[in-house]
Protein backbone atom coordinates (compact mmCIF):
# COMPACT_ATOMS: atom_id res chain seq x y z
CA UNK A 1 0.00 0.00 0.00
CA UNK A 2 1.04 3.56 -0.68
CA UNK A 3 -1.13 5.01 2.06
CA UNK A 4 -0.53 5.11 5.79
CA UNK A 5 -2.64 2.79 7.94
CA UNK A 6 -3.10 4.03 11.50
CA UNK A 7 -4.64 1.78 14.16
CA UNK A 8 -5.76 3.98 17.04
CA UNK A 9 -7.50 3.32 20.36
CA UNK A 10 -9.44 6.25 21.79
CA UNK A 11 -10.29 7.30 25.32
CA UNK A 12 -13.30 9.40 26.25
CA UNK A 13 -15.82 8.04 23.72
CA UNK A 14 -18.66 8.05 26.24
CA UNK A 15 -17.68 11.52 27.49
CA UNK A 16 -18.26 13.14 24.11
CA UNK A 17 -15.71 11.35 21.90
CA UNK A 18 -12.91 13.47 23.37
CA UNK A 19 -10.06 11.21 22.27
CA UNK A 20 -11.10 10.86 18.65
CA UNK A 21 -11.88 14.59 18.35
CA UNK A 22 -8.35 15.43 19.48
CA UNK A 23 -6.91 12.83 17.11
CA UNK A 24 -8.84 14.21 14.13
CA UNK A 25 -7.48 17.70 14.78
CA UNK A 26 -3.97 16.28 14.59
CA UNK A 27 -4.75 14.36 11.38
CA UNK A 28 -6.04 17.49 9.67
CA UNK A 29 -2.61 19.06 10.06
CA UNK A 30 -0.77 16.06 8.56
CA UNK A 31 -3.08 14.56 5.90
CA UNK A 32 -5.18 15.85 3.03
CA UNK A 33 -7.32 12.73 2.65
CA UNK A 34 -8.48 10.44 5.44
CA UNK A 35 -11.13 7.80 5.88
CA UNK A 36 -12.07 6.08 9.11
CA UNK A 37 -13.25 2.53 9.86
CA UNK A 38 -14.24 2.48 13.52
CA UNK A 39 -14.51 -0.89 15.29
CA UNK A 40 -16.95 -0.99 18.19
CA UNK A 41 -18.22 -4.22 19.79
CA UNK A 42 -17.36 -6.98 17.31
CA UNK A 43 -17.31 -10.76 17.66
CA UNK A 44 -20.31 -11.27 19.96
CA UNK A 45 -21.56 -14.85 19.56
CA UNK A 46 -25.24 -13.90 19.57
CA UNK A 47 -24.73 -10.40 18.19
CA UNK A 48 -26.53 -10.88 14.89
CA UNK A 49 -25.33 -9.55 11.57
CA UNK A 50 -22.45 -7.18 10.98
CA UNK A 51 -23.82 -3.62 11.27
CA UNK A 52 -22.39 -0.69 9.28
CA UNK A 53 -23.22 2.68 10.83
CA UNK A 54 -22.55 6.02 9.12
CA UNK A 55 -23.89 9.53 9.32
CA UNK A 56 -24.59 9.48 5.58
CA UNK A 57 -24.13 7.23 2.55
CA UNK A 58 -20.62 7.25 1.07
CA UNK A 59 -18.35 5.08 -1.04
CA UNK A 60 -16.68 3.67 2.06
CA UNK A 61 -19.94 2.16 3.33
CA UNK A 62 -21.02 0.79 -0.04
CA UNK A 63 -17.50 -0.48 -0.77
CA UNK A 64 -17.32 -2.35 2.53
CA UNK A 65 -20.77 -3.86 2.18
CA UNK A 66 -20.10 -5.03 -1.38
CA UNK A 67 -16.77 -6.53 -0.32
CA UNK A 68 -18.29 -8.35 2.65
CA UNK A 69 -21.04 -9.72 0.40
CA UNK A 70 -18.38 -11.10 -1.96
CA UNK A 71 -16.85 -12.96 1.00
CA UNK A 72 -20.22 -14.33 2.12
CA UNK A 73 -20.48 -12.12 5.22
CA UNK A 74 -24.04 -10.98 5.94
CA UNK A 75 -24.12 -7.28 6.78
CA UNK A 76 -26.69 -4.52 7.07
CA UNK A 77 -26.94 -0.74 7.37
CA UNK A 78 -30.43 -0.96 8.87
CA UNK A 79 -30.16 -0.82 12.63
CA UNK A 80 -30.07 1.48 15.65
CA UNK A 81 -26.80 2.48 17.28
CA UNK A 82 -25.62 5.20 19.63
CA UNK A 83 -22.90 7.73 18.98
CA UNK A 84 -19.42 6.38 18.30
CA UNK A 85 -16.02 7.75 17.30
CA UNK A 86 -16.73 7.71 13.56
CA UNK A 87 -18.76 10.90 14.13
CA UNK A 88 -15.57 12.84 14.97
CA UNK A 89 -14.19 12.01 11.52
CA UNK A 90 -17.51 12.69 9.79
CA UNK A 91 -17.73 16.10 11.46
CA UNK A 92 -14.36 16.95 9.88
CA UNK A 93 -15.63 15.95 6.42
CA UNK A 94 -13.96 12.55 6.21
CA UNK A 95 -15.80 9.39 5.06
CA UNK A 96 -16.36 7.33 8.19
CA UNK A 97 -18.17 4.20 9.30
CA UNK A 98 -18.53 2.17 12.49
CA UNK A 99 -18.49 -1.61 12.25
CA UNK A 100 -20.50 -3.26 15.01
CA UNK A 101 -23.25 -5.86 15.31
CA UNK A 102 -27.04 -5.75 15.49
CA UNK A 103 -27.30 -6.86 19.12
CA UNK A 104 -24.68 -5.53 21.55
CA UNK A 105 -26.89 -5.37 24.66
CA UNK A 106 -24.38 -7.42 26.66
CA UNK A 107 -21.80 -4.61 26.80
CA UNK A 108 -21.26 -2.70 30.07
CA UNK A 109 -22.96 -5.45 32.08
CA UNK A 110 -21.67 -8.10 34.46
CA UNK A 111 -22.18 -10.55 31.58
CA UNK A 112 -19.68 -8.71 29.37
CA UNK A 113 -17.01 -11.41 29.63
CA UNK A 114 -14.78 -13.29 27.15
CA UNK A 115 -17.20 -16.22 27.12
CA UNK A 116 -19.70 -14.24 25.01
CA UNK A 117 -17.16 -13.86 22.18
CA UNK A 118 -17.09 -16.06 19.09
CA UNK A 119 -13.40 -16.00 18.27
CA UNK A 120 -13.89 -17.67 14.89
CA UNK A 121 -16.40 -14.97 13.96
CA UNK A 122 -14.04 -12.26 15.18
CA UNK A 123 -11.22 -13.78 13.14
CA UNK A 124 -13.49 -13.79 10.08
CA UNK A 125 -14.30 -10.09 10.51
CA UNK A 126 -10.66 -9.15 11.08
CA UNK A 127 -9.54 -11.15 8.06
CA UNK A 128 -12.20 -9.60 5.83
CA UNK A 129 -11.37 -6.06 6.95
CA UNK A 130 -7.63 -6.65 6.51
CA UNK A 131 -8.21 -7.96 2.99
CA UNK A 132 -10.43 -4.98 2.16
CA UNK A 133 -7.77 -2.50 3.27
CA UNK A 134 -5.06 -4.27 1.28
CA UNK A 135 -7.10 -4.78 -1.89
CA UNK A 136 -9.35 -1.71 -1.94
CA UNK A 137 -7.79 0.64 0.59
CA UNK A 138 -5.71 2.51 -1.98
CA UNK A 139 -8.57 2.99 -4.44
CA UNK A 140 -8.83 6.59 -5.71
CA UNK A 141 -12.36 7.16 -4.46
CA UNK A 142 -11.22 6.43 -0.90
CA UNK A 143 -7.68 7.79 -0.76
CA UNK A 144 -7.74 10.65 -3.22
CA UNK A 145 -11.34 11.68 -2.93
CA UNK A 146 -12.81 11.28 -6.41
CA UNK A 147 -15.43 14.00 -6.97
CA UNK A 148 -18.24 11.47 -7.35
CA UNK A 149 -17.79 10.10 -3.85
CA UNK A 150 -15.66 12.51 -1.85
CA UNK A 151 -17.34 13.99 1.21
CA UNK A 152 -16.58 17.68 0.98
CA UNK A 153 -14.07 18.88 3.51
CA UNK A 154 -15.88 20.94 6.10
CA UNK A 155 -14.83 24.44 6.92
CA UNK A 156 -14.28 25.28 10.60
CA UNK A 157 -17.70 26.93 10.55
CA UNK A 158 -19.32 23.77 9.13
CA UNK A 159 -17.54 21.63 11.72
CA UNK A 160 -18.92 23.87 14.45
CA UNK A 161 -22.41 23.47 12.99
CA UNK A 162 -22.10 19.66 13.02
CA UNK A 163 -20.79 19.59 16.58
CA UNK A 164 -23.58 21.86 17.72
CA UNK A 165 -26.10 19.66 15.91
CA UNK A 166 -24.91 16.58 17.79
CA UNK A 167 -25.15 18.43 21.11
CA UNK A 168 -28.61 19.69 20.18
CA UNK A 169 -29.72 16.15 19.34
CA UNK A 170 -28.71 14.95 22.80
CA UNK A 171 -30.68 17.79 24.41
CA UNK A 172 -33.71 17.30 22.15
CA UNK A 173 -33.88 13.61 23.01
CA UNK A 174 -34.48 14.52 26.65
CA UNK A 175 -37.53 16.60 25.63
CA UNK A 176 -39.26 14.08 23.38
CA UNK A 177 -41.96 11.79 24.72
CA UNK A 178 -41.87 8.04 24.17
CA UNK A 179 -42.26 7.23 20.47
CA UNK A 180 -41.83 10.81 19.26
CA UNK A 181 -39.19 11.61 16.67
CA UNK A 182 -38.10 14.60 14.60
CA UNK A 183 -35.49 15.89 12.19
CA UNK A 184 -33.29 18.68 13.48
CA UNK A 185 -30.81 20.77 11.56
CA UNK A 186 -31.22 21.86 7.93
CA UNK A 187 -32.11 20.23 4.64
CA UNK A 188 -28.37 19.84 3.94
CA UNK A 189 -27.31 18.58 7.37
CA UNK A 190 -29.79 16.96 9.73
CA UNK A 191 -30.10 14.24 12.37
CA UNK A 192 -33.09 12.13 13.38
CA UNK A 193 -33.78 12.40 17.11
CA UNK A 194 -36.02 9.83 18.77
CA UNK A 195 -37.75 9.64 22.14
CA UNK A 196 -36.83 6.18 23.38
CA UNK A 197 -37.75 6.48 27.06
CA UNK A 198 -40.22 8.24 29.34
CA UNK A 199 -41.21 8.16 33.02
CA UNK A 200 -44.83 8.04 34.21
CA UNK A 201 -46.31 8.48 37.69
CA UNK A 202 -49.75 7.32 36.57
CA UNK A 203 -50.09 3.72 35.44
CA UNK A 204 -53.00 4.57 33.15
CA UNK A 205 -50.94 7.12 31.19
CA UNK A 206 -48.15 4.60 30.70
CA UNK A 207 -50.63 1.99 29.47
CA UNK A 208 -52.07 4.50 27.02
CA UNK A 209 -48.58 5.29 25.71
CA UNK A 210 -47.76 1.61 25.07
CA UNK A 211 -50.42 -0.60 23.54
CA UNK A 212 -50.64 -3.93 25.37
CA UNK A 213 -48.89 -2.78 28.56
CA UNK A 214 -50.60 -3.74 31.83
CA UNK A 215 -49.07 -2.50 35.10
CA UNK A 216 -49.99 -4.20 38.39
CA UNK A 217 -51.33 -1.82 41.03
CA UNK A 218 -49.30 -3.56 43.72
CA UNK A 219 -46.39 -5.93 44.26
CA UNK A 220 -47.01 -7.69 47.57
CA UNK A 221 -47.25 -4.93 50.19
CA UNK A 222 -46.13 -2.06 47.93
CA UNK A 223 -48.30 0.15 45.71
CA UNK A 224 -47.50 1.49 42.25
CA UNK A 225 -45.54 4.75 42.29
CA UNK A 226 -43.84 5.19 38.88
CA UNK A 227 -42.53 3.47 35.78
CA UNK A 228 -39.84 4.37 33.24
CA UNK A 229 -40.21 2.69 29.86
CA UNK A 230 -37.45 2.19 27.30
CA UNK A 231 -38.53 1.23 23.78
CA UNK A 232 -37.42 1.28 20.16
CA UNK A 233 -39.35 2.83 17.30
CA UNK A 234 -41.37 0.26 15.32
CA UNK A 235 -39.41 -1.40 12.53
CA UNK A 236 -39.53 0.59 9.26
CA UNK A 237 -41.12 3.62 10.97
CA UNK A 238 -38.46 6.03 9.64
CA UNK A 239 -38.20 4.49 6.17
CA UNK A 240 -41.97 4.62 5.70
CA UNK A 241 -41.98 8.28 6.75
CA UNK A 242 -39.19 9.44 4.43
CA UNK A 243 -40.74 12.87 3.71
CA UNK A 244 -40.26 14.23 7.24
CA UNK A 245 -40.07 17.98 7.69
CA UNK A 246 -37.37 19.70 9.73
CA UNK A 247 -38.37 20.41 13.38
CA UNK A 248 -41.74 18.69 13.04
CA UNK A 249 -42.48 16.18 15.79
CA UNK A 250 -43.93 12.85 14.65
CA UNK A 251 -45.47 10.14 16.83
CA UNK A 252 -44.99 6.42 16.32
CA UNK A 253 -47.44 3.91 17.76
CA UNK A 254 -45.50 2.03 20.42
CA UNK A 255 -46.69 -1.46 21.29
CA UNK A 256 -45.48 -3.86 23.93
CA UNK A 257 -43.34 -5.55 21.26
CA UNK A 258 -41.08 -2.48 21.02
CA UNK A 259 -40.45 -2.27 24.78
CA UNK A 260 -36.92 -3.21 25.84
CA UNK A 261 -37.24 -2.63 29.57
CA UNK A 262 -39.43 -1.22 32.32
CA UNK A 263 -38.15 0.24 35.60
CA UNK A 264 -40.87 0.07 38.25
CA UNK A 265 -41.05 1.75 41.64
CA UNK A 266 -43.55 0.54 44.24
CA UNK A 267 -43.85 2.13 47.70
CA UNK A 268 -45.68 2.21 50.99
CA UNK A 269 -47.17 5.45 52.29
CA UNK A 270 -44.08 6.15 54.37
CA UNK A 271 -41.97 6.39 51.19
CA UNK A 272 -40.18 3.07 51.58
CA UNK A 273 -40.41 0.56 48.77
CA UNK A 274 -38.65 -1.29 45.98
CA UNK A 275 -37.28 -0.53 42.54
CA UNK A 276 -37.58 -3.32 39.96
CA UNK A 277 -36.03 -3.17 36.51
CA UNK A 278 -37.14 -5.84 34.04
CA UNK A 279 -35.18 -6.03 30.80
CA UNK A 280 -34.93 -8.21 27.73
CA UNK A 281 -31.15 -7.70 27.81
CA UNK A 282 -28.62 -8.13 30.64
CA UNK A 283 -28.64 -5.15 33.00
CA UNK A 284 -25.60 -3.05 33.78
CA UNK A 285 -24.84 -1.99 37.32
CA UNK A 286 -21.61 -0.17 38.08
CA UNK A 287 -20.04 0.90 41.33
CA UNK A 288 -16.28 1.17 41.92
CA UNK A 289 -16.58 -0.63 45.27
CA UNK A 290 -19.01 -3.37 44.32
CA UNK A 291 -18.45 -7.04 45.06
CA UNK A 292 -20.70 -9.58 43.33
CA UNK A 293 -21.47 -12.94 44.90
CA UNK A 294 -23.93 -15.65 43.91
CA UNK A 295 -26.36 -16.73 46.61
CA UNK A 296 -28.84 -19.59 46.58
CA UNK A 297 -32.19 -19.12 48.26
CA UNK A 298 -34.52 -22.11 48.30
CA UNK A 299 -32.81 -23.50 45.22
CA UNK A 300 -32.87 -20.29 43.13
CA UNK A 301 -29.70 -18.34 42.32
CA UNK A 302 -29.36 -14.59 42.86
CA UNK A 303 -26.42 -12.32 42.14
CA UNK A 304 -25.90 -10.04 45.14
CA UNK A 305 -24.16 -6.77 44.31
CA UNK A 306 -22.69 -5.35 47.52
CA UNK A 307 -21.22 -1.84 47.36
CA UNK A 308 -20.36 -1.73 51.06
CA UNK A 309 -23.22 0.71 51.65
CA UNK A 310 -26.17 -1.10 50.07
CA UNK A 311 -27.04 -4.24 48.12
CA UNK A 312 -28.79 -4.87 44.82
CA UNK A 313 -30.17 -8.25 43.77
CA UNK A 314 -29.95 -9.52 40.20
CA UNK A 315 -31.76 -12.57 38.86
CA UNK A 316 -33.45 -14.01 35.79
CA UNK A 317 -36.95 -15.20 34.95
CA UNK A 318 -38.23 -17.23 32.03
CA UNK A 319 -41.54 -16.58 30.27
CA UNK A 320 -42.52 -18.64 27.22
CA UNK A 321 -38.90 -19.70 26.61
CA UNK A 322 -37.65 -16.09 26.71
CA UNK A 323 -35.21 -14.95 29.38
CA UNK A 324 -35.78 -11.69 31.25
CA UNK A 325 -33.21 -9.99 33.47
CA UNK A 326 -34.17 -8.35 36.75
CA UNK A 327 -32.48 -5.83 39.02
CA UNK A 328 -34.14 -5.23 42.38
CA UNK A 329 -33.27 -3.01 45.32
CA UNK A 330 -34.98 -1.56 48.32
CA UNK A 331 -35.23 2.20 48.65
CA UNK A 332 -36.82 5.15 50.36
CA UNK A 333 -37.78 8.68 49.46
CA UNK A 334 -35.10 11.25 50.25
CA UNK A 335 -35.66 15.01 50.11
CA UNK A 336 -32.67 17.19 49.36
CA UNK A 337 -31.88 20.74 48.26
CA UNK A 338 -31.36 20.95 44.52
CA UNK A 339 -30.81 23.75 42.02
CA UNK A 340 -34.53 24.54 42.02
CA UNK A 341 -35.25 24.13 45.71
CA UNK A 342 -36.30 20.93 47.44
CA UNK A 343 -36.16 17.82 45.28
CA UNK A 344 -36.94 14.19 45.95
CA UNK A 345 -35.06 11.03 45.00
CA UNK A 346 -35.59 7.34 45.67
CA UNK A 347 -32.36 6.14 47.28
CA UNK A 348 -30.98 2.69 48.15
CA UNK A 349 -31.67 1.40 51.65
CA UNK A 350 -31.14 -2.38 51.62
CA UNK A 351 -27.95 -2.77 53.67
CA UNK A 352 -25.62 -5.75 53.61
CA UNK A 353 -26.95 -6.90 56.99
CA UNK A 354 -30.45 -7.12 55.44
CA UNK A 355 -29.38 -9.57 52.72
CA UNK A 356 -31.40 -12.54 53.94
CA UNK A 357 -34.49 -10.39 54.42
CA UNK A 358 -34.04 -8.95 50.91
CA UNK A 359 -33.60 -12.42 49.41
CA UNK A 360 -36.73 -13.62 51.17
CA UNK A 361 -38.81 -10.72 49.83
CA UNK A 362 -37.52 -11.04 46.27
CA UNK A 363 -37.99 -14.81 46.26
CA UNK A 364 -41.60 -14.44 47.40
CA UNK A 365 -42.59 -12.54 44.22
CA UNK A 366 -43.75 -14.73 41.29
CA UNK A 367 -41.65 -12.83 38.74
CA UNK A 368 -42.48 -14.95 35.69
CA UNK A 369 -46.19 -14.51 36.34
CA UNK A 370 -45.73 -10.78 36.92
CA UNK A 371 -43.78 -10.33 33.66
CA UNK A 372 -46.43 -12.22 31.72
CA UNK A 373 -49.13 -9.98 33.20
CA UNK A 374 -47.20 -6.83 32.26
CA UNK A 375 -47.00 -8.15 28.73
CA UNK A 376 -43.38 -7.54 27.78
DSSP string across 91-143: HTT--EEEEEES--TTTTSTT-SGGGB-HHHHHHHHHHHHHHHHHHTT-HHHH
For residue 27, give the CATH number of its domain. 3.40.630.10
Residues 6+ apart with CB under 8 A from 253: 179, 211, 234
Q: Specify whether 115 is located in the same domain as 206.
A: no
From residue 41, alpha-carbon distances to 88, 101, 267 in Å are 18, 7, 38
Mark which of 154, 185, 210 sits at the end of a domain. 154
The pLDDT value recorded for residue 154 is: 54
Strand partners, 180: 251
Residue 133 lies in a domain: yes
Using CA atoms, how far residue 253 sits from 93, 211, 234, 235, 250, in Å, is 36, 8, 7, 11, 10
Tell me the per-residue pLDDT of 222-249, one tens digit each, with 9 for 90 and over: 999 999 999 887 766 766 666 788 899 9
**Structural domain contains residue 235:** yes
H-helix segments, the chain: 18-30, 59-70, 86-91, 119-136, 140-143, 156-175, 203-209, 237-240, 355-363, 367-374
Higher pLDDT, 288 or 359: 359
Please indicate, yes or no, whether residues 350 and 201 belong to a single structural domain of this protein: yes
Position 149 pLDDT exceeds 50: no
Domain with 35 in it: 13-154
Residue 250 and residue 303 share a domain: yes
My answer on whether 126 and 226 are in the same domain is: no
CA-CA distance, 309 to 350, in Å (whole number)? 8
Higher pLDDT, 118 or 165: 118
Q: Spell out the alpha helix ranges (H) of 176-306.
A: 203-209, 237-240
Quick one: 150 and 242 in the same domain?
no
Measured distance between the N- and C-terminal CA atoms of the chain, rounded to whole angstroms: 52
* Residue 185 domain-assigned (yes or no): no
Mean pLDDT of 45-58: 83
With 60 as the cut, is the pLDDT of residue 148 above it? no
Shared domain check, 113 and 57 = yes
My answer on whether 291 and 227 are in the same domain is: yes
Same domain, 249 and 149: no
pLDDT tens by residue, 69-125: 888 898 888 765 667 888 888 887 788 899 998 888 777 676 778 888 999 999 999
Higher per-residue confidence, 17 vs 221: 221
Q: What percent of the chain has pLDDT over 70?
A: 89
Q: Are residues 142 and 201 in the same domain?
A: no
* Number of compact structural domains in the chain: 2
Handedness of CA 145, 150, 155, 161 (dihedral sign): negative
What is residue 80's predicted lDDT score, i.e. its pLDDT? 59
Q: Average pLDDT in the 346-375 region?
A: 93
Residue 172 covered by a domain: no
Is pLDDT at 358 greater than 70 in this prediction?
yes
Mean pLDDT to the nearest integer, 255-265: 93
Residue 24 and residue 127 in one domain: yes
Q: Which of 119, 134, 154 is the last residue of a domain?
A: 154
Coil vs helix vs strand at 189: coil
In a domain, 162, yes or no: no
Predicted confidence (pLDDT) at residue 343 exceeds the cutoff of 90: no
- 190 part of a folded domain: no
At residue 141, does pLDDT exceed 70?
A: no
Compute the average pLDDT of residues 287-295. 89
Q: Is residue 192 part of a domain?
A: no
The reported pTM is 0.62
Domain's final residue, options 99, 127, 154: 154
Instruction: Identify whether residues 273 and 202 lie together within a single domain.
Output: yes
117 and 207 share a domain? no
Predicted confidence (pLDDT) at residue 338 exceeds the cutoff of 80: no
Domain-embedded: residue 163? no
Would you place residue 147 in the very low, low, confident or very high pLDDT band (cuts 50, 70, 90)? very low
Amino acid sequence: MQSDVIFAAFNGEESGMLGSKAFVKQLEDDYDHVYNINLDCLGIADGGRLLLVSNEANSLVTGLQDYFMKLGIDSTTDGSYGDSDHLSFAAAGFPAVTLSQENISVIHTVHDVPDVLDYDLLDQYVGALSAFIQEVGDSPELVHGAPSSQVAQMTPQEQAVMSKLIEEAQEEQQQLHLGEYKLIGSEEKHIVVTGLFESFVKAREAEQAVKGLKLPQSILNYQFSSVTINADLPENELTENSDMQINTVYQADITINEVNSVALTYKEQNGEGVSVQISKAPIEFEDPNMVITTEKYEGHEYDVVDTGKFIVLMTEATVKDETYYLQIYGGRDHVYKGDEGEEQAFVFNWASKNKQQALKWVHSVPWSQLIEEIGI
